[in-house]
């Protein structure tokens, strides 16, 4: 009535087949590849077929026209799914120095019309709306894949460095009862007849979880209902969040952040060299000590270097950030710059003030090539301080009751930061639009694919 | 105007301090611990203070009453945040065989009222609603922490085994344009004046991404607007999703799933022994070959063993599953059982039929101790098959246009599965309610904390 799954029946062609990135280990042997018909160039008597699989591409040399019959008989065009059995041969002129010869080709899934975006060309020629409208196919292009592989690598490196530092991964709820962090810019959800909201960040939960595990991180979606249509805004993105207790002040947080950024970049440099090259990434060096400048000094610097008086402004403009980035490069040879001590008026209520200058905060932004990449800082940790801060902000206590309970029952000095994954990829790869750094972006007008 | 962050200024007490789990490496030396006042027992001339940090607890012996003055002067009660400097001494009678003596105690954050849930007792006495209402504090209890640490371990193991098998991690959008998978049970979101929905699963996106990377996985939140108030339902949960191409049929998927489950359990057994013990987990063995039984045979078996005729029913009831679980245990000594070939009528439109018996599907459920833990199967991969399936289901094509585009331009035979993280933890730890396996559960009535 029942049988066991035998080990052999579970071994399929997919498991016996060789990946395109591994054919170098099989020179002189016949192997099986499976993948997509990436390109086919027919040059008189000989054809060059490029097979793409989930990892890379391989060149197949077809000297016997009849070998192509399984494809031609059904009019199989680019992106058809195929299997190729062939002999691996070292060929200095081939891409990667290897190719398959004497192929036996099988058609697995035929495609008979050209795709909306050409995948087999070195460069993607399509315009942005086409790329986004047809992302389910366009994302197959090696240059697009490279970006998404880097995203995976960055997430893995983030978890790795924090795991080693004793951080515990959490998954906090995305459906929340109130638009607590700020009244605006949240998406409302019909939750069994009540109104719920989509979390703008895991901020409150990661702080609460410092009370549980001291050190926590989360990698997950956050939702911002900001009605901005710019190259730098999307409405759902991936946030790399960390929060930890028993810090001295925001400088403890900045020191950890330096380690995290350095580890991510190192992992990408070592494990994703091909992707970085395809994506056109210019890798920065992370200085052993990232330079930092206080907000007030930064404004003074802009005044002295550029004659532009932004002193007294409560925040830095994108142009201010670019100027500071140039200064960090010129003065310190650094792609990175910490700006510390942003005015309290511009920071959320849970921000810890600078004890010496209470109008300024123990918070920071990390600028990467003149653009804000990370925001972080020290948070309030005393219950009484929260009651004061909420009163000053004019917020009611009730929506914050559960959050406040954590502080009522003992919280250590703590802080953390949030890295926007897409922003990081955009800066790293020089992508002209942040929408190109996420699989299926969500913006003011786009909910599909 | 700017300074460098010196390495030494970044080294705080938090970094110099020793974790409770590491004091064994410091016997005979004075060290600094930081954490929470977990418990304080005063026995005449001597007091025993238990300090809890993010990783464990340590016993501190206070022989000089005056050492407690920093606490008593401010009436500091349980959950106060403290620092203890003391000498590590081997003490066979102490928990873990080690304790701190001659302590110097510092009060970091005082707590002056008892928490709503007692954290310092071995067992949590609070009732479920109290535990959930006060989760921000209750989750600090070692028995609660153990469950969440296991969750983190399971996620890490899932990513590890799939990463080694060449899978790429993805993050798919949670805001989607249509309630595609099924019309019901989705949450509606006000998306800049339009209606969007929260994704019930990453199903469509992970399939599409098989076209990009062949093998993908995702760990993320999914949202189910099911109005069920049972011990097994929550409305937001964490799904461990995998999908991959070039499979033979659903048996290829089942073989991978066996590896994944075995790896998760092995990692937990080796890396989380203390948590498994605290959480009361009964660890199953994963057979080298998990027994499997066809849906029709399973119904026949129930008829023959129990005299209950469920033959012809389109699905298995929870009671049927329990009976099959008992049979798998009795007949095969296995906590796990695959039921294969569920009728097509009960499976989603993208399910691949059994070519030999088209009324049955190439899908499966994995039962763990008589409860469904995982659902998976082979999916349709030909464009024409999708058009047929949607027509048969009576669905319009338009909402599926982007999804279908992936199949129009070449998809291999593929399949995958989804493991419910909370369901796995519930079965593993024998938790009486799934709400106890997630940090801050969401159900029909609960949106906070």
ipTM: 0.95
DSSP H or E stretch at residue B420: strand B414-420
Query: What's the confidence (pLDDT) of residue A179?
Result: 74
pLDDT-wise least confident of A13-17, B287-291, B328-332: A13-17
Query: What's the confidence (pLDDT) of residue A180?
Result: 64
Q: Can you tell me whether residue B372 is helix, strand or coil? A: strand
Res. B11: pLDDT tops 60 = no
Could you tell me which residues come within 8 angstroms of residue A370 by beta carbon, excluding any fewer than 6 positions away? A321, A322, A323, A324, A325, A326
Q: How many residues does chain B have?
A: 449
A444 and B192 in contact by Cβ < 8 A?
yes
Residues 71 through 90 of chain B touching chain A, CB cutoff 8 Å? 79-81
Q: Which of A264, A190, A252 is nearest to A414 (CA)?
A: A252
Exposure class string for B222-237: b at 16+ Cβ within 10 A, else e: bbbbeeeeeeebbbbb
- Could you count the other beta carbons within 10 Å of the beta carbon of residue B37? 26
* E strands in A2-114: 2-4, 30-43, 46-52, 57-62, 81-90, 98-109
Separation of alpha carbons B142 and B56, rounded Å: 8
Query: What's the confidence (pLDDT) of residue B255?
Result: 98
Q: At which residue do the structure tokens 């129930």 appear?
A: B302
Mean pLDDT of the B139-164 span: 98
Contact B59, B48 (CB under 8 A): yes
Query: What's the confidence (pLDDT) of residue A16?
Result: 82
Encoding tokens for residue A317?
């403009």
Query: What's the confidence (pLDDT) of residue B354?
Result: 98
Query: What's the confidence (pLDDT) of residue B15?
Result: 57
Average confidence score pLDDT of chain B: 94
The DSSP-derived string for A275-304 is HHHHTT--PPP--SS-EEEEHHHHHHHHHH
Residues 144 through 163 of chain A touching chain B, CB cutoff 8 Å? 144-145, 148-149, 151-152, 155-156, 159, 163
Res. B14: pLDDT tops 70 = no
Question: Which one of B144, B215, B221 has the shortest CB-CB distance to A220?
Answer: B221
Half-sphere exposure of residue B347: CA atoms within 13 angstroms, side-chain side: 26
Could you tell me which residues come within 8 angstroms of residue B87 by beta carbon, excluding any fewer than 6 positions away? B28, B29, B30, B31, B100, B101, B102
Separation of alpha carbons B330 and B335, rounded Å: 10
Q: Is the peptide bond before B384 cis (omega within 30 degrees of 0)?
A: no
Could you tell me which residues come within 8 angstroms of residue B352 by beta carbon, excluding any fewer than 6 positions away? B249, B250, B361, B362, B363, B377, B378, B379, B380, B381, B413, B415
DSSP letter, residue A270: H
CATH of the domain spanning A142-437: 3.30.930.10
Separation of alpha carbons B11 and A200, rounded Å: 32
pLDDT-wise least confident of A25-34, B249-258, B277-286, B438-447: B277-286
Task: Identify any residues that bridge with B244 across adjacent strands, giving them in sequence order.
Answer: B215, B415
Residues 223 through 252 of chain A touching chain B, CB cutoff 8 Å? 223, 225, 227, 235-236, 238, 244-248, 251-252
Query: What's the confidence (pLDDT) of residue B182?
Result: 60
Query: What's the confidence (pLDDT) of residue A183?
Result: 58
Burial classification of residue A323, based on how many CB atoms lie within 10 Å of its CB (0-12 exposed, 13-18 middle, 19 or more buried): buried
| Domain locations in chain B as residue ranges | 7-109, 142-437
Shared fold status for A7-109 and A142-437:
no
A7-109, CATH topology level: OB fold (Dihydrolipoamide Acetyltransferase, E2P) (2.40.50)
DSSP letter, residue B177: S
Which residues in chain A are contacts of B297 at CB distance < 8 A? 1-2
DSSP letter, residue B185: S
DSSP letter, residue B18: P
Contact A241, A206 (CB under 8 A): yes
Res. B402: pLDDT tops 60 = yes
pLDDT-wise least confident of A172-176, A183-187, B62-66, B364-368: A183-187
pLDDT-wise least confident of A177-191, B4-18, B224-238, B283-297: B4-18
Which residues in chain B are contacts of A247 at CB distance < 8 A? 12, 14
pTM comes to 0.96
B169 and A152 in contact by Cβ < 8 A?
yes
Mean pLDDT of the B403-413 span: 98
- Per-residue pLDDT tens listing for chain A (449 residues): 344 444 444 444 555 899 999 999 999 999 999 999 999 999 988 999 999 999 999 999 999 999 999 999 999 999 999 999 999 999 999 999 999 999 999 999 999 999 999 999 999 989 999 999 999 999 999 999 999 999 999 999 999 999 999 999 999 999 999 876 665 799 999 999 999 999 999 999 999 999 999 999 999 999 999 999 999 999 999 999 999 999 999 999 999 999 999 999 999 999 999 999 999 998 999 999 999 999 999 999 999 999 999 999 999 999 999 999 999 999 999 999 999 999 999 999 999 999 999 999 999 999 999 999 999 999 999 999 999 999 999 999 999 999 999 999 999 999 999 999 999 999 999 999 999 999 999 999 999 99
Which residues in chain A are contacts of B410 at CB distance < 8 A? 36-37, 79-81, 109, 111
Residue A380: closest C-alpha in chain B:
B109
Separation of alpha carbons B302 and A188, rounded Å: 47
Query: What's the confidence (pLDDT) of residue A11?
Result: 47
């Amino acid at each position: 009535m029942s049988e066991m799954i035998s080990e052999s029946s579970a071994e399929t062609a997919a498991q016996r087949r060789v990946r395109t990135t591994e054919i170098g280990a099989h020179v002189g042997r016949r192997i099986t590849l499976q993948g997509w018909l990436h390109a086919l160039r027919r040059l008189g008597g000989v054809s060059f077929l490029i097979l793409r699989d989930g990892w890379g591409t391989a060149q197949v040399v077809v000297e016997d026209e009849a070998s192509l019959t399984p494809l031609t008989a059904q009019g199989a065009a680019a992106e058809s799914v195929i299997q190729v059995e062939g002999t691996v041969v070292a060929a200095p002129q081939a891409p990667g120095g290897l190719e398959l010869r004497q192929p036996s080709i099988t058609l697995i899934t035929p495609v008979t019309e050209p795709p909306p975006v050409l995948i087999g060309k070195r460069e993607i020629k399509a315009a942005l709306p086409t790329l986004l409208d047809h992302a389910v196919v366009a994302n197959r292009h090696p240059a697009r894949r490279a970006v998404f592989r880097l995203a995976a690598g960055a997430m893995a490196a983030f978890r790795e460095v924090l795991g080693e530092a004793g951080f515990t991964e959490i998954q906090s709820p995305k459906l929340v009862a109130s638009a607590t962090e700020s009244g605006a810019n949240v998406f409302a959800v019909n939750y069994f007849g009540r109104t719920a909201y989509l979390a703008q960040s895991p901020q409150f939960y990661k702080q609460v979880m410092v009370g549980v595990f001291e050190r926590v991180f989360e990698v997950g979606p956050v939702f911002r209902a900001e009605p901005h249509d710019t190259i730098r805004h999307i409405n759902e993105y991936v946030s790399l969040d960390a929060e930890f207790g028993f810090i001295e002040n925001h400088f403890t947080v900045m020191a950890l952040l330096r380690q995290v950024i350095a580890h991510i970049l190192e992992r990408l440099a070592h494990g994703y060299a091909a992707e970085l090259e395809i994506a056109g990434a210019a890798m920065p060096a992370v200085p052993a000590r990232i330079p930092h400048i206080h907000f007030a000094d930064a404004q003074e610097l802009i005044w002295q270097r550029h004659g532009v008086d932004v002193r007294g402004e409560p925040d830095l403009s994108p142009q201010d950030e670019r100027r500071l980035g140039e200064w960090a490069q010129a003065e310190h040879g650094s792609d990175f710059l910490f700006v510390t001590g942003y005015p309290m008026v511009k920071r959320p209520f849970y921000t810890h003030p600078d004890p010496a200058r209470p109008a300024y905060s123990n918070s920071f932004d990390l600028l990467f090539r003149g653009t804000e990449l990370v925001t972080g800082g020290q948070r309030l940790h005393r219950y009484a301080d929260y009651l004061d801060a909420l009163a000053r902000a004019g917020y009611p206590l009730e929506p914050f009751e559960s959050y406040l309970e954590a502080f009522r029952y003992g919280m250590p000095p703590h802080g953390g930061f949030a890295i926007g994954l897409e922003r990081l990829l955009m800066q790293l790869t020089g992508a002209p639009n942040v929408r190109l750094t996420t699989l299926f972006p969500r913006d003011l007008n786009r909910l599909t694919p």
